[in-house]
């Protein structure tokens, strides 16, 4: 069985946030909710100042702490390694949110759906068709666009990235693009000391 994962090429990421917009569109995310973020970090002083971009996403950990603490069984791992949240089972207790070392969980407060994308209370037809997939009050996160993966497509953020900074594929397949990249460019996982075994790697 496949073990889906992602690699972020930090040298390639230019911080354009196209992935963030694509994710919000694909998943109809309300205002203030992000399944992926591009963080930035600045260091040094002029003229040697530098800014780097660090994309973040749910790491779909093999030893997912969010799954372990979920009291209702809403968080579960699919056979292909994608960590999912079952809306019907989630009670919105947020225990997964405090258990995730990467702070990748968001509660879908009812107000978020009422405010609309522009914060005016006006819901566009696009939002109207998309919001139906969420249950207000539940806690959600990135699922690698499982609806796309199921039909053989890459996640929306990967397809949109103009610099190929996001590479998605089967980490169990040594010939897959992410496996090769991890091997050749010494991919590292975020916060490895937390022992969660993320399936998201960073190369530089």
Partner 1 sequence: MSIENKVFSGDTLKVGYRFQRHWDNSMAYAFFCAELGAGLYFVSMLLGSMIGMIAGLVVVSTGKPYFHLAHMGVPGKSWRAMLRPDRSWISRGLWALAGMVAFSVLYLLCLAFGEQFGIRPDSALLWVLQILSGAFTLAVMVYQGFAMSHSSAIAIWSSAIMPMASLLYSLVVGVAVVRVLLPAPQAAALTGSLELLLLGLAVMHLMLLHSGWHGSPGARTSIELLLQTLYAKWFWGAVVAAGIVLPALLLWFAPSSAAVTVIVAVGILAGFMAWRILIFKIGVYEPIMSMNPFRSANT
Positions in the binding site for partner 1 (CB under 8 A)? 10, 37-41, 43-44, 52, 54, 56, 65, 68-74, 89-95, 97-103, 105, 107-109, 135-139, 188, 190-191, 193-196, 202, 204
Which is closer to partner 1, CB of 104 or CB of 176?
104
Q: Least separation, in Å, of the C-beta of 149 and partner 1?
A: 23
Which is closer to partner 1, CB of 86 or CB of 173?
86
Which is closer to partner 1, CB of 25 or CB of 94?
94
Which is closer to partner 1, CB of 111 or CB of 150?
111
Q: Least separation, in Å, of the C-beta of 178 and partner 1?
A: 18
Q: Least separation, in Å, of the C-beta of 62 and partner 1?
A: 15
Q: Least separation, in Å, of the C-beta of 61 and partner 1?
A: 11
Question: 28, 127 in Cβ contact below 8 A?
Answer: yes
């Amino acid at each position: 069985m496949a073990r889906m994962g992602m690699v972020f090429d930090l040298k390639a990421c230019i911080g354009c946030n196209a992935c963030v917009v694509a994710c919000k569109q694909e998943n109809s995310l309300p205002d203030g909710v992000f399944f992926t973020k591009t963080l930035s970090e600045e260091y040094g002083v002029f003229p040697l100042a530098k800014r780097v971009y660090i994309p973040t996403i749910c790491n779909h950990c093999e030893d997912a702490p969010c799954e372990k603490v979920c009291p209702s069984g809403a968080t579960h791992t699919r056979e292909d390694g994608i960590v999912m949240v079952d809306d019907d089972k989630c009670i919105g207790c947020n225990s997964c949110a405090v258990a995730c070392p990467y702070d990748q969980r968001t509660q879908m407060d009812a107000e978020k759906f009422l405010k609309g994308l522009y914060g005016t209370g006006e819901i566009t037809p696009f939002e109207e068709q998309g919001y139906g997939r969420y249950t207000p009050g539940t806690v959600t996160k990135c699922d690698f666009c499982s609806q796309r993966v199921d039909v053989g497509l890459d996640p929306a953020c990967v397809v949109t990235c103009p610099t190929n900074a996001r590479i998605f594929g089967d980490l169990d397949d040594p010939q897959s693009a992410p496996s090769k990249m991890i091997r050749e460019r010494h991919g590292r996982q975020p916060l490895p000391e937390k022992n969660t075994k993320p399936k998201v790697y960073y190369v530089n």
